[in-house]
């Protein structure tokens, strides 16, 4: 009978408490990454989408800089004439100024009205609160054209049609509820005990809102402002119904350019204006993202939940 003596220097799985490793299997954290067929399908769809998107963008940019061509892939000559023609013909200097004014005023008024209203919905209980919240959702959920025509009729009856004031007012209708619906859950994440402690120390409502809630709400306010800014600059239906020659925004001016010109010239004029529109939106977003970082916003919400 042969007796096997274990080597004391060799670690035993029973003494260390770790289960023996099975051949052919790796721990969960060390398993090789294998692409499933469904993952390949998803990545293929994303690649196709970006290829089509990039192709459209390149086509519009080339069309805005090139002379008219029909039998070749690229135009024979590059020119800035379409931009000069569109700038002078459609008064794009005034259009850009109007667009920036409308966007700035709508964002400022929406924040001033929407943040206190969101605070009331988040902190106060009153009769028909659910119905009021549902009413705020209506301008966001239903198509703008459904309430835009009656709203435009009211503006024209009041003598505000085709004016800058009318453009600002109609854009406030969906923007204010958008800020309210964005800020309400953000305010609900803030611990109400902070406000109670401040009130016990003698702080007024104004002091609580400016000294305590204000710094905590800045990320949410900036995020809501950026979303309203993008929505206002790109809002076509409501703006088109009440705007005029001196109050058109850029997106409405592009539509008027497309319908007022004829032939291939209209296509390249519209392409040049579309490049200007895209460039302006990219500049606005780059400047806005310098102040709003989505990761910081998520981190701030997580910190408030922990508190």
Residue 104's pLDDT band (boundaries 50, 70, 90)? very high
Averaged over 199-224, what is the pLDDT? 82
- The pLDDT score that the predictor gives to residue 276 is 86
Contacts of 205-211 with C-beta under 8 Å, sequence gap 24+, read 209/119
Higher-pLDDT residue of 87, 71: 87
Consecutive H or E run containing 55: helix 37-65
Averaged over 262-286, what is the pLDDT? 78
Note the pLDDT tens digit of each residue in 25-61.
545 555 555 556 667 878 888 888 889 888 888 888 8
- The pLDDT score that the predictor gives to residue 212 is 80
Both structure tokens of 261: 């010109």
Backbone torsion region of residue 118, taken as left when φ is above 0, otherwise alpha when ψ lies between -120 and 50, otherwise beta: alpha
Note the pLDDT tens digit of each residue in 112-127.
999 988 888 888 888 8
- The pLDDT score that the predictor gives to residue 291 is 66
Rounded CA gap, 279 and 13, in Å? 64
* Domains defined for the chain, CATH in brackets: 38-79 (no CATH), 83-306 (1.10.3720.10)
Answer yes or no: is pLDDT of 8 > 80.
no
- The pLDDT score that the predictor gives to residue 161 is 84
- The pLDDT score that the predictor gives to residue 305 is 46
- The pLDDT score that the predictor gives to residue 91 is 82
- The pLDDT score that the predictor gives to residue 99 is 92
């Amino acid at each position: 009978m042969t007796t096997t003596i274990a080597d004391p220097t060799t670690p035993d799985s029973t003494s260390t408490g770790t289960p023996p490793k099975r051949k052919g299997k790796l721990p969960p954290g060390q398993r090789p990454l294998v692409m499933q067929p469904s993952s390949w399908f998803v990545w293929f769809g994303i690649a196709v989408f970006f290829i089509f998107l990039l192709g459209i963008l390149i086509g519009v940019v080339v069309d805005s800089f090139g002379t008219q061509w029909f039998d070749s892939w690229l135009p024979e000559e590059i020119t800035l004439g379409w931009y000069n023609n569109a700038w002078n013909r459609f008064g794009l200097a005034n259009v850009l100024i109007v667009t920036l004014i409308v966007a700035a005023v709508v964002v400022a008024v929406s924040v001033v009205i929407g943040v206190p209203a969101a605070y009331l919905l988040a902190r106060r209980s009153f009769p028909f609160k659910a119905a009021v919240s549902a009413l705020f959702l209506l301008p966001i959920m239903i198509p703008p054209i459904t309430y835009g025509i009656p709203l435009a009729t009211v503006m024209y009856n009041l003598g505000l049609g085709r004016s800058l004031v009318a453009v600002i007012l109609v854009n406030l209708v969906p923007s204010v509820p958008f800020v309210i619906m964005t800020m309400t859950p953000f305010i609900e994440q803030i611990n109400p005990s902070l406000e109670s402690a401040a009130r016990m120390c003698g702080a007024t409502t104004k002091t609580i809102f400016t000294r305590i809630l204000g710094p905590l709400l800045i990320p949410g306010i900036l995020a809501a402002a950026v979303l309203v800014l993008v929505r206002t600059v790109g809002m076509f239906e409501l703006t088109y119904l009440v705007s005029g020659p001196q109050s058109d925004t850029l997106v409405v001016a592009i539509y008027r350019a497309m319908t007022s010109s004829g032939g291939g010239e209209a296509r390249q004029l519209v392409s040049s204006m579309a490049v200007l529109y895209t460039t302006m939106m990219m500049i606005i977003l780059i400047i806005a993202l310098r102040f709003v970082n989505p990761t910081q916003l998520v981190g701030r919400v997580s910190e408030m939940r922990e508190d």
